[in-house]
Amino acid sequence: MKKILPLLIFFCFSTIIAQQKIDLTYYLPQDISYNTNIPTPESVIGFQVGDWHVSHDKLVEYMKVLAKFSDRITIENRGKTYEGRPLLLLTITSPKNHQNIESIRTEHLKLSDANISSSLNTNEMPLVIYQGYSIHGNEPSGANAGLLVAYYLAAAESDYINELLDNTVILFDPSYNPDGLNRFASWVNTHKNQNITSDNNDREYSEAWPKGRTNHYWFDMNRDWLVSQLPESQVRIKSYHQWKPNILTDHHEMGLNASFFFQPGIPSRTHPLTPKLNQELTAKIGEYHAKAFDKIGSLYFSEERYDDFYYGKGSTFPDINGGIGILFEQASARGHAQQSDNGILTFPFAIRNHFTAALSTLKAGKNMRTDLLEYQRNFYKNAQKEITRDKNKAIIFGDATNKTKTFHFAEMLKRQKIKFYKNGNNENSYIIPLNQPNYRMIKGMFEKRTTFKDSLFYDVSAWTLPLAFNINYSYTSKISNLGSEVTNLSFPNGTVSAKSDYAYLFEWDEYYTPRALYSILKKGLRAKVAMQPFSLNEKNYDYGTIMIPAQNQQLSAAEIYNLIKSIADETGVNINAANTGLTEGIDLGSSNFKVVTKPKIAMLVGDGITSYDAGEIWHLLDTRYQIPITKLDTKNLSKADLSRYTTIIIPNTSGSTLNNSKENLKTFVKNGGVLIGYRNSLKWLNTNKFINLDFKKAKAKTKNVAFDQRQDFKGAQVIGGAIFEAELDRTHPIAFGYNKNKIALFRNTTVFIKPDSVETYKSAIQYTKNPLLSGYISKENLKVLSKTIPFKTAKLGKGKVIVFTDNTNFRAFWYGTNKLMMNAIFFGKMM
Ligand SMILES: [Zn+2]
């Protein structure tokens, strides 16, 4: 590393540089020496950083080698992704700190407990910095820069690095999204030319569906930090709370023609629960980035485009936890080199920018150490003061008829270190006292917010979690009945009341009833659903109760009992034995029990389909309900034999890739199939006469909008994601399993359907008159949304077309509306 190439040649962009052999001197500071005992990335992964896109296995290999050779680094494997890749974390600090790492950690955690933090001497405490890379897998310059950052931290020799490592503990997360990183690396490496082509028509720069941005089930993992439904997030959140870092960085890429962005973002779009000082410190850290970028001659910007509003994002999540989250966005070559507005953008150039930002973060952390530690201490102290001013003292949550959903909600709180207690002896009911360190995060999870400083949002404007889960909750100003703290949560297994030779019954309200029903149908057993309520043995059974006769089945009564027992156990569904068919209300042999058949489901995927929406459905059916689905590519749809399926789901799409398959899809429905369409597919289904929909359109009042305000004006009419109230007709099969007349729906489209003008039938689901529960919507849109319908069905031949204007499966945490889709799948023919 002693050889110093003239830096100048790297400042000039030309086609030559795209071909230029890059070596480590391009990336690393050259005014220091590097320990030659530490293997360079190239010596392990077999190529210079930036020559190829690192695959995740090679990244892992290098991290393990570094941990082996450096006494500054320890490594742990915290779990695995859906595709089985390890989720590594390196702890990097001075060898001396490593010897006391556990006591450093426990002392550091005391800063976030206002009751004990006063006595701590922050002068003597290291700062904790979490550095994580490429949560969007096709934004890989972060993870590739990570190779260099880790090498630098292991091998650099100088007074500065010693001081840095003495004064910081660096939690180093080399890849936030291993599956996505690997998917993208395969794509670009597969298409790489020896003579690099910066022409963006090259296939290298036109990644196939589904892109590497997302994880295995096509989730944007940078929306999952608060709700943490995915395994990658869960291990990360665990590390987060084990340490409560002072700074957390999140390295991304953006469009080709941009430069480099670092936070702070747009000031008016910071979440109101985030203290002002957070943004001031972010800006102060930003000065370090600016200085470092000035030095290497890279363009950058801040306080534009991005925001700090949704706590589900990596750079915003720390802001409600006493830390500073920082988003970095680098213009993306999305491959090895691309022609851009700023000349040829090479992959190594993008890597070097991320490397630079990682180092300037560490420098800022070292120099601002006590400020940031004090900030953290005061964050929790001030939160405690806010608690005393809060008229509410606790939140009670839980749902007696939905113990598994309550369990998943409680699990989520537990992951975020929120304490809760049993509510006396009430089953499935818990109390969250507000007087606890994470008071602000509790507020951030439960609050309903309908007024905003700004009308533009980078992401959703609302995520009120008990509404998303559709569980009961209430605030209370007096804590009574506080039981023991819940420290051990376990899945609430279901029960079977007794063995029966006649029939079994279970209600449809528990979250996992679709899984239970599918398990039964899969065994070839007959099952029916009750279209009316009834009661038996002094128990009331609601609409949608499932009945499994014990006689004339493929299995013996004894085998059925064993099967039912294991299903109850794994789904949490309580199943009752019935020894008579005579009930109050419809008897078990009544024709008001309708046959339910095993669904055979295909979902459209591929070009034209929104991969997020498709991934959410795939994940729901595959991982939660254990129901197999065929992912049917739109490119094969016109010729596919659709008679194999009972149900086809069209996730959000404009329909542009479906035009050639129109006839095949129509034949499928006419022959008796159920077609379920979501969001914008409704327009295509309407145009192509699958269903007749009457759309409403909002018109924003335009008045002299200035040129530079046009974007904001348009943006204000977008529904980025908010929560609305609708009324349910509980007698309709779409509402089976819901035991209240109102439901909260998530909406991020402006597709509005008028209810039928002839009011013969009540609408099965209809937005209330003033439907806004939480989040931002323009006045014009709200007016139009009022009393429209988010759901409609129509007969077509022997089949059914069922449409939803809203996403019922949003980001794996909208548990509350999953059943709407499941009802369409199981009971669609009855609607
Ligand atoms: Zn990104």
Concatenated DSSP letters of 410-456? HHHHHHTT---EEETT-TT-EEEES-STTHHHHHHHH------S-S-
* CA 704 to centroid of ligand 1, rounded, Å: 35
What pLDDT sits at residue 708?
81
CB 498 within 8 A of CB 504: no
What would the pLDDT profile of 687-711 be if each residue is shown by its tens digit? 999 999 999 988 777 777 888 888 8
Question: Which of the residue ranges 252-261, 433-442, 532-541, 702-711 would you say has the lowest mean pLDDT?
Answer: 702-711
Q: What percent of the chain has pLDDT above 70?
A: 97
* CA 142 to centroid of ligand 1, rounded, Å: 10
What pLDDT sits at residue 19?
58
CB 131 within 8 A of CB 149: yes
What pLDDT sits at residue 758?
60
CB burial of 414-448 (b: ≥16 within 10 Å; e: otherwise) equals ebbbbbbbbbeeeebbbbbbbebbbbbbbbbbbee
Question: Which of the residue ranges 1-10, 162-171, 177-186, 503-512 would you say has the lowest mean pLDDT?
Answer: 1-10
What would the pLDDT profile of 8-49 be if each residue is shown by its tens digit? 444 444 444 555 688 999 999 999 999 999 999 999 999 999
* CA 253 to centroid of ligand 1, rounded, Å: 5
End-to-end CA distance of the chain: 72
Strands (E), 524-616: 527-530, 534-536, 539-541, 546-549, 576-578, 584-585, 593-596, 601-605
**pLDDT mean across residues, the chain:** 95
CB 606 within 8 A of CB 634: yes
Q: Name the β-bridge partners of 30.
A: none
What would the pLDDT profile of 724-779 be if each residue is shown by its tens digit? 999 999 999 999 999 999 999 999 999 999 998 766 778 999 999 999 999 999 99
What pLDDT sits at residue 364?
98
What pLDDT sits at residue 258?
97
3-state SS class at 709: helix
Separation CA 427–CA 421 (nearest Å): 12
What pLDDT sits at residue 1?
45
The average pLDDT across 822-826 equals 98
* CA 132 to centroid of ligand 1, rounded, Å: 12
What would the pLDDT profile of 341-385 be if each residue is shown by its tens digit? 999 999 999 999 999 999 999 999 999 999 999 999 999 999 999
Concatenated DSSP letters of 640-695? S-GGG-SEEEE-SB-STTTGGGHHHHHHHHHTT-EEEEETTHHHHHHHTTSS---E
* CA 218 to centroid of ligand 1, rounded, Å: 14
Strands (E), 334-440: 337-340, 343-346, 394-397, 421-423, 430-433
* CA 18 to centroid of ligand 1, rounded, Å: 24
Does residue 434 register a pLDDT over 70? Answer: yes
* CA 139 to centroid of ligand 1, rounded, Å: 6
**Taking each helix axis from N to C terminus, what angle separates 369-389 and 276-296, rounded to the nearest 10 degrees?**
160
What pLDDT sits at residue 12?
42
3-state SS class at 708: helix
* CA 346 to centroid of ligand 1, rounded, Å: 18
* CA 716 to centroid of ligand 1, rounded, Å: 23
Please enumerate in sequence order all residues whose Cβ is within 8 A of that of 264, keeping only pairs 6 or more positions apart, or say none.
Answer: 270, 279, 282, 283, 286, 302, 303, 308
Please enumerate in sequence order all residues whose Cβ is within 8 A of that of 238, keeping only pairs 6 or more positions apart, or say none.
Answer: 78, 415
What pLDDT sits at residue 694?
95
Name the nearest CA neighbour of 815 among 544, 442, 466, 432. 466
* CA 137 to centroid of ligand 1, rounded, Å: 8
Concatenated DSSP letters of 480-506? -SEEEE----------B----SSEEEE
* CA 220 to centroid of ligand 1, rounded, Å: 9
State if pTM tops 0.85. Answer: yes
* CA 134 to centroid of ligand 1, rounded, Å: 7
How sure is the predictor about 679, in pLDDT bands with cuts at 50, 70 and 90? very high
Q: Which protein residues have a CB closer than 5 Å to ligand 1 (ion)? A: 136, 139, 252
Cα atoms in the Cβ-side hemisphere of radius 13 Å centred on 582:
0
* CA 350 to centroid of ligand 1, rounded, Å: 14
Q: Which two tokens stand for residue 247?
A: 């700074």
Q: Which two tokens stand for residue 319?
A: 């802001």
What pLDDT sits at residue 130?
98
Does residue 423 register a pLDDT over 60? Answer: yes
What would the pLDDT profile of 644-667 be if each residue is shown by its tens digit? 999 999 999 999 999 999 999 999
* CA 254 to centroid of ligand 1, rounded, Å: 7
* CA 256 to centroid of ligand 1, rounded, Å: 13
What pLDDT sits at residue 446?
97
Does residue 829 register a pLDDT over 50? Answer: yes
* CA 151 to centroid of ligand 1, rounded, Å: 24
* CA 252 to centroid of ligand 1, rounded, Å: 4
Q: Which two tokens stand for residue 329?
A: 């966005």
H helix or E strand, kind and range, residue 734? none
* CA 140 to centroid of ligand 1, rounded, Å: 9
What pLDDT sits at residue 455?
82
CB 527 within 8 A of CB 546: yes
* CA 645 to centroid of ligand 1, rounded, Å: 37
* CA 343 to centroid of ligand 1, rounded, Å: 22
Does residue 720 register a pLDDT over 90? Answer: no
What pLDDT sits at residue 20?
67
Does residue 459 register a pLDDT over 60? Answer: yes
Q: Name the β-bridge partners of 475.
A: 395
* CA 86 to centroid of ligand 1, rounded, Å: 21
What would the pLDDT profile of 90-112 be if each residue is shown by its tens digit? 999 999 999 999 999 999 999 99
* CA 213 to centroid of ligand 1, rounded, Å: 8
Name the nearest CA neighbour of 224 among 310, 100, 115. 310
Separation CA 421–CA 213 (nearest Å): 39
Which amino acid, 400?
A
Please enumerate in sequence order all residues whose Cβ is within 8 A of that of 282, keeping only pairs 6 or more positions apart, or say none.
Answer: 263, 264, 324, 326
Helices (H) and strands (E) in the chain, counts: 25, 35
What pLDDT sits at residue 18?
52
What pLDDT sits at residue 452?
87
Separation CA 325–CA 135 (nearest Å): 14
CB burial of 658-670 (b: ≥16 within 10 Å; e: otherwise) equals beebbeebbebbe
Separation CA 346–CA 37 (nearest Å): 30
Question: Which of the residue ranges 370-374, 601-605, 715-719, 726-730 would you say has the lowest mean pLDDT?
Answer: 715-719
Does residue 5 register a pLDDT over 60? Answer: no
